[in-house]
Every structure is written in structure tokens, then in C-alpha cells.
Amino acid sequence: MHVLVIGAYGSAGAAAAEVLADANVDVTLVDDGDPGGGLCILRGCMPSKELLGAAQHRHQAREDPRLDADITVDVADVVARKDDHASEFAAHRRENVHELAERENVEFLHERAEFVDDDTVRVGERTYEPDYVVLATGSTPTRPDLPGLDDVDPMGSADVLDATEFPETGVVLGFGYVGLELVPYLAEVGGMDITVIEHDERPIDRARPEMGDALLDAYREEFGVEVLTNTEEQCVEPDGDGVRLTVERDGDEQVVAADRLFCFTGRDPAVEGLSLDAAGIDSNRGWVDGETLRSRDHPRVFAAGDVTGERMLLHVAKEEGATAARNVLADWRDAPLERYDPITHRVVFSAAGVYPYASLGMTESEAEAAGHDVVVATREASDDGIFRLKRVPRGSAALVVDAADGTVLGYHGVHYEADTMAKTMQVVVANEMDVREVPDRAYHPTTPEILDGLVRDAKSEL
């Protein structure tokens, strides 16, 4: 059997490549990345943490009334360190892929690939007729369909990661995960006056309303960001050296003037240049079966990671890549395909990582839709003295429990160190623990006390 993996440097592609190489089938790995290393490493979650770390330290020093701090961030140094770390991590990824290619059954081609027809893929100047193809080409930034956008040269997330100078004012489209992380950086480190256009009443649709409201308060009060909720952008135009964005808010037209427009409006599958239509594949949303990771239009094409258009997260991409590879092997043996159904596990480093959002498992509404009667325990971070002592009193957490048998179905929080508690709660949710079996142990005050409070409240309700 011969398998072609397109996008081998990315997280999904590298995971698929390893599984297939270990299975001792013939594998051709293809990636034209320059330098190559995958989106997360080069332009995503890894380099962004370097920037957010600087913003978090400055913000906490500035906001803490116990300190008399006047901190200036050396942005050029932050970006240089980011570049060094990204280069190091990417080189490690490339080295791993190239080591696989040293095996007799594996080759690597630093070329572009495209389908010629149902059976044929052109890679550079060569053509292949593989038994299977695994697509793991990642994603590209979504460009909103906004009149005038081509005339104003907006900045995207990759531009922000590389910027060492910032204008005085900016207006932001997109307040999802990327916007929630980069807006505080622009305000805190860039020193910008920022206006955000938020289509809904609050950010993070999936979160409980009080969590979205807590983030709004933090952005407005601690970072000085103006968030226009229930607002839709209408058009944008140049205004001297800046921009004028026309919006509609509560039925009224309003103009926001700024030095620069920023677009953090999501990502689309990176399929341009693959000529999927030549293979009879329609790459519109939903083109991949999210459980088997097989193309709905082509039985011998599997896909993993961002290119599927769903679940665009690093850890999911790795799991999907390995699952897609195992399903290729299963299909070749005419065996049942594995069904991938991951427990939701999302973390957003909102408010410069001071008040991150963590979500594990099902929300209350999702659990009820799945047929569960639920008990929901909620707790404000300020209910635990440790958060007030650390001067981070905002936020809350919720525990979703099956009312019949006590199974912990989900944990969701916007509060200090919620990200560090995510793994603990992933273990609880993934192992379907009964909340009454979660240890209730007193220990010296630490932020995970919020979990103890949720567990006690849920047990009491049961």
C-alpha cells in the first residue's frame, strides 16, 4: 500500500506520518513549507504565548496596587525571542519528519501537490497514483466580505506577531479566540487605544453569560478596550493615513475612526492549489466526516487538522492525524473505521492570560440536549480568598453533573489559572468520575480551591 501525506510538517500531518511509517507501508510525505514546521509553531499558539507572557507580566505589575511599577516592554526583544523559539521548535519538527524519511519505506518531497484526477496526484514534476491520500494542509486567515477592505491593508494575527511598532489607535474585527488573545497585547504592550466590533451581546457564545460578561468587564476596565457589542461592520474606507469603519449598532449607523484596521475573523481550510475538484471533492464546510475523517466525496482521501474546517486546535490536530492514519490502515484491511469523538477541551488565554477561559466536556445546554438531567454547581472566583489575595478576583466556574448518577459531564471557567486546572478536569471528565468520588481534601490555600467548592456544592445538590 502507498499513502501520500500532503502537509507533513504540520501537527496533523506529522502525526499521520508517524503512524503510517511505523505500519511499514510505503509513505510519501509532501510539504513545501518554508521553513516549515506547522501553523501552531510558526504563526499560532506557540509564538503568541511569548507575546502574551510579556503583556501578562506588565499588566499584573501595573494593576497591582501594592507595587509602584512603571514597566516598559522591549517589543523588539519580545519579537526576537519569539522568532528564536519558533525557529527552534520548527527545526525540531522538521528534523522528526526528515528522520522518518530516512526509513526505506518513506520518502519526503519538498514540493507542492495537487490532484490531477480521482487517482492521480502531481507532486512537483512527478505524478503518483497512491492508494490513499491524507490531507493535512492546515488553514489560512478568513478574509471578511467587507466593502472597501482591499483599500485599507488590514493587519492579521501573523502581522501582529511580527510587529515591533504600533499605531496609536486601532479598530478590531473578530473577537473570537484570536481576538480575545491579541487585543490585550495590542492595548498593553502596543499601548494602543482599541475599539472592538463584537457581533453578539458578549464574547464566547458557548460560555455561560456571566463568564462572557466578566471578560467584557476585564477588557474594558483593566485594559481600556472599548468593545461595541451587538454591532455589525458595514464598510470601511481610507481616511488619510487611517481608516473609517462604518458600523450598525442597535439599528443606528456609527463611524469608528482609527489608524489601523485589524482582522481576527477566523480561519478557512487551506485547500487552494490542491485542485480538489479534479478528484470530485467539494471542499465546502462539512466536506469531511468528523468522526471517521474520511472525505464525503472520495473514499480514499482522508483529512485531519484545520483543513477539515472543524475543531481547529493543535491537540485535536495531532489526534485527528493519528486517527486518520489508523483509519487508512483499517480501510485497507476492510476493517471497521475508528470513530473519533473527542471530549471538548478548549483553552483561550483571554485577558493576556490573566483570566483564561477553559472548557472541558459538555455545557449545561449540550448535556440537556444529549438527554441528561443535570445539576450545575457554580462558583465565583471571589468566593475563594486566594483569588482576592493574588489580586485576580474576577471570573467564575461551573461544574455540570448528571443528576442521576453523579457523572461529571463538564467543567467551564473564566478565572485566574483556569488553564492550569484544565488537565485535572480533563481526567475527571474523560474517566466519567462520579462527583462524589472526587477527593475533598483540605490543603493550604491555592487557586484549585475553586474546584473543591464546585465539588462540594454538586455533592450537596445530589
Residue 232 and residue 220 share a domain? yes
Pairwise CA distance, residues 122 & 225, whole Å: 49
CB-based burial of residue 461 (10 Å sphere; 0-12 exposed, 13-18 middle, 19+ buried)?
middle
The CATH number of residue 374's host domain is 3.30.390.30
Nearest to 143 by CA among 116, 117, 173, 166: 173
Which domain-ending residue is among 265, 291, 322? 265
| Residue 314: closest CA among 82, 42, 72 | 42
CB 164 within 8 A of CB 332: no
Distances (CA, A) of 198 to 22, 224, 412: 47, 16, 22
Shared-domain flag, residues 16 and 63: yes
Q: Domain residues for 10?
A: 2-141+268-332
110, 23: one domain: yes
- How high is the pLDDT of residue 444? 78
Residue 347 lies in a domain: no
The CATH number that applies at residue 229 is: 3.50.50.60
Q: pTM of the predicted model, to two decimals?
A: 0.92
Q: What is the predicted pLDDT for the residue at 251?
A: 87
* Number of residues that this document lists for the chain: 462
What is the reported pLDDT for 334? 96
The maximal CA–CA distance of the chain, rounded, in angstroms, is 68
**Looking at the structure, do residues 108 and 40 belong to the same domain, yes or no?**
yes
Return the number of other C-beta atoms located less than 10 Å from residue 252's C-beta: 7
| In a shared domain, residues 81 and 106 | yes
Residues 398 and 422 in one domain: yes
For the chain, list residues with pLDDT below 70: 442
Same domain, 261 and 153: yes
Last residue of a domain, one of 265, 294, 313: 265
In a domain, 232, yes or no: yes
Residue 186 included in any domain: yes
269 HSE (CA, 13 A, CB side):
22
Who contacts 199 (Cβ-Cβ below 8 Å, separation ≥6)?
A: 230, 231, 232
Residue 131 belongs to some domain of the structure: yes
Same domain, 211 and 164: yes
Distance (Å, rounded) from C-alpha 238 to C-alpha 305? Answer: 37
- Counts for the chain of helices (H) and strands (E), in that order: 12, 22
| Shared domain check, 456 and 376 | yes
Q: Does 341 reside within a domain?
A: no
Is the same domain home to 258 and 279?
A: no
Of the three residues 244, 265, 286, the one that is the final residue of a domain is 265
Same domain, 208 and 276: no
- Residue 206 inside a domain? The answer is yes
For 395, other C-beta atoms within 10 Å of its C-beta total 28
Q: Return d(Cα 136, Cα 162) in angstroms, integer.
A: 25
- Count Cβ atoms below 10 Å from residue 398 Cβ, excluding itself: 21
How is the beta sheet containing 132-135 ordered, strand by strand? 106-109, 26-30, 2-6, 132-135, 301-303
**Same-domain status, 305 and 429:** no
Number of domains in the chain: 3
Residue 293: its pLDDT value, please? Answer: 96
**167 cis-preceded (ω within 30 degrees of 0):** no
| Grid coordinates of 310 | 472543524
> Can you list the alpha helix ranges (DSSP code H) found in 73-197?
75-100, 157-162, 177-188
**pLDDT for the residue 440:** 78
Describe the strand order of the beta sheet including 252-258 as a list of residue ranges.
231-239, 242-249, 252-258
In a domain, 344, yes or no: no
